[in-house]
Structures are given as structure tokens and as C-alpha cells.
A = this chain, B = another copy of it.
Amino acid sequence: MTETLPVTDRSRLRRLHERGHFDRATINSILDAQPMCSVGYIIDGKPFVTPTLQWREGNHVYWHGSSASRALRNSRDAQVCLSVAILDGFVLARSGMHHSVNSRSVTLFGTASKVEDPAEKLDKLGRFVNGLFPGRYEGLRPDHAQDLKATMVLGMEISEGSAKMRTGGPVDEEEDYDLPIWAGVIPVHTSVGKPIPDPRNIKDVPMPDHVRSFRL
């Protein structure tokens, strides 16, 4: 921080660190950084949240599951809220009030639509696998027709929503900076471990590049 603001202006100071973003590039970068998401929907007037994986294609976000899933059946053609949140660190300040987290999140609102066309559904699922593991889908045993039938893909246009980010160190009251209290940030990362081959892999099947070089 190069600015010094009076204490009464601290809400403005905090806004320099924590801002809402409505530009598509910021929203896309957060969606693309973390496939895990939470989908909120309503059943019988009660809120439900289901964790699932999302993937993005241009202006749309998709998720999938069993055609029998209560979550999917109740999200289809209904209002949903899709949330992605990434924890980047704990922010330790000089008072409890100013403790915070560094994070990136996106919240999207819209009506979820089922991808009806079987060829389009297959294409979406292939892009989901290849989005995480480039080139993998073409090397897999093709999906059985009955398995595809048992899978529902929902999609939603990215049109209503926003991103939120907080970065940087603690923002304390000016008079608290003289206190002998350690303040700072504990960064949090998501990391990928060494791949564990299935013991039933056939002998000498090589580990593909999309596994060896996988990063989140």
C-alpha cells in the first residue's frame, strides 16, 4: 500500500484489496483454474447445494451426473447458482476483525438446460475429459450407448454473475500497526501428487503426458 487513508475511509481501503469483477476474462480465468464447483438449486422450497465438476466452453458452463440424480433432475430448466471458490491464503491481522482470506470466487446465476442431442452430449463429455487431460478421450474405450443415456449434461450461459478476488496482506487500523503482533499471510496452494497407476494396468502401458504433466 502506498496510500495512507484516514481510518474513516477504511472501507475504501479494503475495497482496493477485495473487489467485485464483472469482466469476462477474470470470470473465465477462475472457472478455468478450478473444476470443483457448488451448484445451488431448490427442491420443494428448500435450498440444496451439490459439489460437482464444471467445465467451460466459450460463453457456457457445463456440469454432469447421473440422469437419475435428484440434483440434476431438479436443476434442469430451473434457476441455479453455480459457485467456484479458490482459497489462496489466510490473512492474519492485528485484530480479529481484520483477519481474512485471500481467495478467488465466481458466482453465476441462470437457468440450467439439458443438452438433449446425443451427439452434442458426447461432444461435451469429450471436451470435459480433454479439458482436464488433453487428448485422453480419443484413446478411451468409446462410451456405451446405455451409459450415455444414463448421463445427464446440464449447461448454462454465462450471463449473470460476478467474480470476487482478495489478494495481498492484512489491512489493519492505522493505530494498530505499532502493536507487537505478528501479521501476514499464510499462502495456500493446491498441488498434484505423483500419479498412482492402477495395479490392473496391463504390463508396460506407458504413463501418458496428460497424466505426467497434469497441473491444476
Contacts and interface: CB of A to CB of B under 8 A. Distances in A.
A188 B216 CA distance: 9
Interface string A106-147: 010100000000000000011001001100110111111001
A170 B201 CA distance: 11
Interface size class of A (residues with CB under 8 A): 35 or more
Interface string A195-215: 111111110011110010010
Contacts of A42: 42, 45, 47
A95 interface: yes
Interface in A43-75: 45-51, 53
Contacts of A177: 200, 202
Contacts of A193: 89, 186-189
Interface in A74-117: 79-83, 85, 87, 89-90, 92, 94-97, 99, 101, 103, 105, 107, 109
A189 B136 CA distance: 23
Nearest to A125: B96
B51 A47 contact: no
Contacts of A15: none
A173 B42 CA distance: 35
Contact of A188 (B92, B176, B190): B190
A25 interface: no
A113 to B, nearest CB: 16
A8 interface: no
* 10 closest cross-chain pairs (CB), A and B: A51-B85, A187-B193, A40-B49, A40-B47, A38-B38, A49-B83, A183-B198, A40-B40, A184-B197, A97-B147
